[in-house]
Amino acid sequence: MTFTPDHFSVWIEIPVTDLDRAVSFYNDVFTTELTRVSDSGPNEFAMFPVKNGGCAGHIYPGTPPARGTGPTVHLACPDTLEGTMERFAKAGGDVISDPIAIPGGRFAYGIDPDGNSIGMFASQ
């Protein structure tokens, strides 16, 4: 039997060197409000919000991989891809690709201030 779940990815964790700075960066870029949690483990972290209490992921104090060498996490754009790319650069990230079209939408690659590879994805 082949395992085929509804959603293969169930959680993301993005390591950051400065939680306050990273919360500001992701809030600004994705026009959201990460929820800070301080009573659920050894470190405070900040969760990405999703509707209906679904799973998403968080940023946490950790050691990011060398710049651009870790896995790429793709995050949903709150509006247009170009708008998100502009906020990404303005907030201190590096946009490292032009928009790329795929059957389900478009995305662009960026490197966050901690060196994490981030995809910005806009569905069609």
The count of other CB atoms within 10 Å of the CB of residue 103 is 5
Quote the percentage of the chain above a pLDDT of 70: 99
Q: Which residue has the tokens 């201030």?
A: 113
pLDDT band at 106 (very low <50, low <70, confident <90, very high): very high
Q: How many Å apart are CA 71 and CA 83, to the nearest integer?
A: 24
At 4 the pLDDT is: 86
Read off the pLDDT of residues 28-50 as tens digits, 9 standing for 90 and up: 999 999 999 988 778 899 999 98
Query: Is the sign of the CA dihedral 37, 86, 65, 76 positive or negative?
Result: positive
Find the mean pLDDT for residues 75-96. 97
Please indicate whether residue 79 or residue 3 has the higher confidence score (pLDDT). Answer: 79
Ordered by where they begin, the domains of the chain are 12-123 (3.10.180.10)
